[in-house]
Structure 1
Amino acid sequence: MTRNSHQDAISEAQFDRLMKAARDMPSPYSEECEFILITAGRLGMRAGELCHLTPEWLNTERSLIEVPRHDPCTKGKHGEICGYCAKQAASAAEHDEDKTILDAMEQRWEPKTDHAVRAIPYDFDEALAERLEELVDDGGYRRSRVSVNRRVDRVVEAAGMDSAGIYPHALRATASTFHACRGLPPSALQSFMGWADLSVANKYVRLSGEQTARALRETHS
């Protein structure tokens, strides 16, 4: 049976434990792990998004991360395209006979889908917003996509937790669950997470039980 990432969302207590472990780690691992935890575990960003995030994506006046439709990748050696984007470009060229691999490489980085082009509000938590801006101003995530999983494994180990079910996409599921449990409506959750299908947001909201709890409170008040 296929296991869905929503099943691997971690609790708030577990997330707080990871954050504490990240802050206690030596630099630069501390900043790198904290950046991943915030952007994936609270802002719901995909690993490919968070590792390409630059200061230009941040609209500090409106407290938004504005994920662009295209942003030239310079995450590889000597400022060239990274291995992750090169692999994505090769796959795109393979499935489009009118596109050469060089054409595809010039289009990298780009989001996973059109719906992933979105504005992500981050001012729902003042401390988180302040720390995010500090980390991005300091350079954000300086390493490539392939290192994200290793950093997650490292902070999980530092926290003394079982790494079996904690990975970047599980952190994204954690963000979905976190906001659904606080009553974010499905349409807003869909926009926040960049999903193409509203049914995914409906599933998280349904599993959170928040709508049922709210209806019961209103009924019995």
Structure 2
Amino acid sequence: MTDKTQNDELTLKAYYQLVKTAQDLENRYGFTVYMIGKTGMRTGEIAHFHPEWFNVESNVINVPKSQDDWQPKRGKGRMISISSDTADTIDWYLNTLDDTYGCSEESIHSHVDVVSEKAGIDSISPHQIRSVYYNELI
């Protein structure tokens, strides 16, 4: 297992393998990693995600300024634009899986560990996945 650089950054090749493995899993763990990898959402946003944030027709996820007792980082909502393929996959997950949202941040790290192991990648963090998404793909 490897596919990280000397300073523990996830390589682009490993990122693509991770996202493919996540999508192939078609389960809650796959959904979590897919969402991080294809939207750049933060762990707190994934943990508090609600399907009504997602709009498949306009290919966006609208993270609210607050929801219940939760606020996103910096207390600001944001709109995340996604590709139509990503929107279709998220829509499939939401229509196929039961309770695909609302988990702890600790669970998110566990989901990433399981998927990265299945992808043959050394242990990584959700932040490393987001970093590749924002630095290499946007």
Band of TM-score, shorter chain: 0.7 to 0.9
Query: Per the alignment, do residues 70 and 176 of structure 1 end up closer, same or farther by CA in structure 2, a change over 3 Å counting?
Result: same
Residues 156-182 of structure 1 show CA distances to partners (whole Å, capped at 9, x for unaligned) of 11122211xx101111111111334xx
The Cα shift of 1:12 comes to 3.0
Residue of structure 2 in register with 1:120 after alignment? 80
C-alpha separation between the residues in 2 aligned to 1:8 and 1:136?
A: 32
Partner amino acid, structure 2, of 1:175: Y
Aligned pair 1:141/2:101, yes or no?
yes
Query: Per the alignment, do residues 147 and 112 of structure 1 end up closer, same or farther by CA in structure 2, a change over 3 Å counting?
Result: same
Query: Per the alignment, do residues 8 and 132 of structure 1 end up closer, same or farther by CA in structure 2, a change over 3 Å counting?
Result: farther
Question: What is the 5 A alignment of 1:163-178?
Answer: 163=123, 166-178=124-136
Partner amino acid, structure 1, of 2:72: P
- Asked if the contact 1:69/1:111 (under 8 Å) is kept, the reply is yes
The Cα shift of 1:109 comes to 1.5
Residue of structure 1 in register with 2:56 after alignment? 60
Task: Please list every run of 5 or more consecutive structure 2 residues that lacks an aligned counterpart in the other structure.
Answer: 1-6
Task: Provide TM-score, normalisation by structure 2.
Answer: 0.80
Residue of structure 1 in register with 2:45 after alignment? 49
Residues 23-43 of structure 1 show CA distances to partners (whole Å, capped at 9, x for unaligned) of 454xxxx42232222221221
The Cα shift of 1:147 comes to 0.5
Question: What is the 5 A alignment of 1:17-166?
Answer: 17-25=17-25, 30-72=26-68, 108-115=69-76, 117-123=77-83, 126-137=84-95, 138=97, 139-163=99-123, 166=124
Structure 1 residue ranges, 4+ long, deviating more than 6 angstroms after superposition: none
Residue of structure 1 in register with 2:3 after alignment? none
Partner amino acid, structure 1, of 2:51: P
Task: Provide TM-score, normalisation by structure 1.
Answer: 0.52
Residue of structure 2 in register with 1:82 after alignment? none
C-alpha separation between the residues in 1 aligned to 2:136 and 2:19?
A: 15
C-alpha separation between the residues in 2 aligned to 1:114 and 1:142?
A: 19
Name the structure where helix makes up a greater proportion of residues.
1
Partner amino acid, structure 2, of 1:160: G
Query: Per the alignment, do residues 39 and 55 of structure 1 end up closer, same or farther by CA in structure 2, a change over 3 Å counting?
Result: same
C-alpha separation between the residues in 2 aligned to 1:9 and 1:121?
A: 25
Residue of structure 1 in register with 2:4 after alignment? none
C-alpha separation between the residues in 1 aligned to 2:32 and 2:108?
A: 8
Query: Per the alignment, do residues 14 and 173 of structure 1 end up closer, same or farther by CA in structure 2, a change over 3 Å counting?
Result: same
- Root-mean-square deviation (CA), in Å? 2.1
Residues 27-83 of structure 1 show CA distances to partners (whole Å, capped at 9, x for unaligned) of xxx4223222222122111101012111111123321100001112xxxxxxxxxxx
The Cα shift of 1:11 comes to 2.8
